Copies of this chain bind each other. A is one copy, B any other.
Amino acid sequence: MTTVAERPKLAWGPRVDLSGLPDLFEGTDIEPYTPPQAGIDNLGITSTDTFMVPGKGEVQVDFTGFVRVARSRPSAAGWNESVVYTNLIEMYMRGTTAGMGPIVVTLNPAYLSTGCLWTPPEDMGCNHPAKACRMAVNALFELPQLGMTLFNKEPILLTINDVRAIPPAGNPGLGRIYEKLPLYNRANPDGEPVADITALKFAMGTYLSEERIQQMRG
């Protein structure tokens, strides 16, 4: 059910070299204000997405699942100066709607969802500034009961502010959606949009065990 992105053609930003990166699970220590070694974070995630579906109106769905985020070597040893690039290499979230059955969200293998953590320039001189985090994501929204998979073309921009440790486990975040982000039907990819995302709130969870990840993959 889940899709691991393997060298997709289109990347929103720099690729993180995955070779030799340790897979980090439950039990990994997180140091505040300390750029960590490169690695792959296996984290829980919850998200509440609001969709506008023609004929059904607004549909709000609570999703739970996991993400696997590859992090680059920090560009500098110091917290303030360091930039860290990220690639979302796996995602699996599941939610249920009243009228349309379950929705399973995974990565769109045609795109590499990428992001970064950085210190906003105006805070660079502060003591212990919070970093900001952004990631451009392309997902598949599978509705097995309807036999339909939706996808976004414009990336969904997920942002986390007030990042005081990397990864930002436990931080709330927002999808920066202005009015609507169109979704298309994978069976008619060049057609008109069939629904929109109108709002998205999420929260990063903490490190999960390898077993938990495996269970959720379903």
Contact = CB atoms under 8 A, between A and B. Distances in A.
Contacts of A178: 134, 157, 159, 176
Interface in A167-218: 176, 178-180, 182, 190-193
A13 interface: yes
B154 A136 contact: yes
Contacts of A157: 154, 178
A12 B153 contact: yes
Interface of A: 10-15, 52, 57, 85, 120-121, 132, 134, 136, 153-155, 157, 159, 176, 178-180, 182, 190-193
A179 B136 CA distance: 13
Contacts of A191: 14
A165 to B, nearest CB: 20
Q: How many copies does the complex hold?
A: 2
Contact of A159 (B85, B154, B179): B179
Contacts of A192: 14, 85
Contacts of A85: 192
Contacts of A10: 10
B121 A190 contact: no
A12 B193 CA distance: 10
Contact of A121 (B13, B52, B134): B52
* 8 closest Cβ pairs, A-B complex: A176-B178, A136-B154, A12-B153, A14-B192, A154-B155, A12-B154, A159-B178, A157-B178
Contacts of A136: 153-154
